[in-house]
Amino acid sequence: MKEAPNVSQLSIWKAQIEDKFTRLEKCQTEITNLILKDTDAERAFEEDFLSAEKYRDRFSELCAQIQRLSMKETETKEFSEKRKFKLPKIELKKFTGDAKEYLSFWSQFSKIHEDTSIPNEDKMQYLLQAVVPKTKAARVVESFPATAENYPKAIAQLKERFGRDDLLVQIYVRDLLSMVMKNAASGRTKTDLPALYDELEAKIRALESLGRTQEKYGDFLSPLVESCLPEEILVAWERNRNMKDVSQVEDRSLEKLMNFLKQEVK
């Protein structure tokens, strides 16, 4: 069975056809000029013109066919490269109604929510599957009859109950305060630092995703983070700051503090 031409072969053919067509057009111009020199050559000119037009049309058709074949070859190659392995199935994240889980839940479910090709009645079924039975989230969703009209209402109620930015910010700031109180009550040691760093980093990232960036809220968050640290780490941080020009704002930033802790954890 004859193999289909590849992109390289198609490009060669296209170049050859274009070269031949260019030379043919040059010859055609010379022929036309010769015909026009004859004052009684109207019929010959018309026949020559129609014949030349057929070749031009054929040239355009061949170029279009080569272009289509080239695009098909490229698309096939790209698809083959993208699908050399089977992707694992993504399990729908289940939501209980714990506000701390809302960001990760909505990050996944929003792909379904924003997909205009999925009808609302199907989205409602996905939403019912995405909440853990007999939880606060399930009670909110199940309070609406499972219809297309009620889907946006159920989403709005979920966001109002568990996904408001002000509510989530309060929760993460309270968590930081709780860590401060825990440190004050029992004291932490340097051995606690890796777990402490991961916990702090997770909460700061969550606040950033809610628009509370380090640049805007660093002055408020830095003292809270410092109060969570074991005493020996806090002393080392103060020493690190004093070795630099403390008049520079960036040396007192939350980003600098987290980078310092990252180095201490290594």
Does residue 180 have a pLDDT over 90? no
Output DSSP code: residue 143: T
Alpha-carbon dihedral angle through residues 99, 104, 108, 114, given to the nearest 10 degrees: 60
Does residue 94 have a pLDDT over 80? yes
Sequence letter at residue 223: P
Query: In whole angstroms, what is the distance from residue 196 CA to residue 70 CA?
Result: 56
Does residue 208 have a pLDDT over 70? yes
HSE at residue 89, side-chain half, CA atoms within 13 A, is: 2
Query: In whole angstroms, what is the distance from residue 59 CA to residue 28 CA?
Result: 14
What residues are paired with 131 via a beta bridge? 95
Q: What was the pLDDT predicted at 249?
A: 46
pTM metric for this prediction = 0.56
Query: In whole angstroms, what is the distance from residue 141 CA to residue 97 CA?
Result: 11
pLDDT, mean of residues 109-113: 93
4 by Cβ neighbours in 10 Å (0-12 / 13-18 / 19+) ranks as: exposed
Q: What was the pLDDT predicted at 61?
A: 77
Output DSSP code: residue 101: G
Residue 95 or residue 17, greater confidence: 95
Q: How confident is the model at residue 1 (pLDDT cuts 50, 70, 90)?
A: very low
Lowest mean pLDDT among 38-47, 120-129, 143-152: 38-47
Place of tokens 């996904």: 163
Using DSSP's 3-state secondary structure scheme, residue 203 falls into helix
Does residue 102 have a pLDDT over 50? yes
- From the centroid of its chain, how far is CA 106? 15
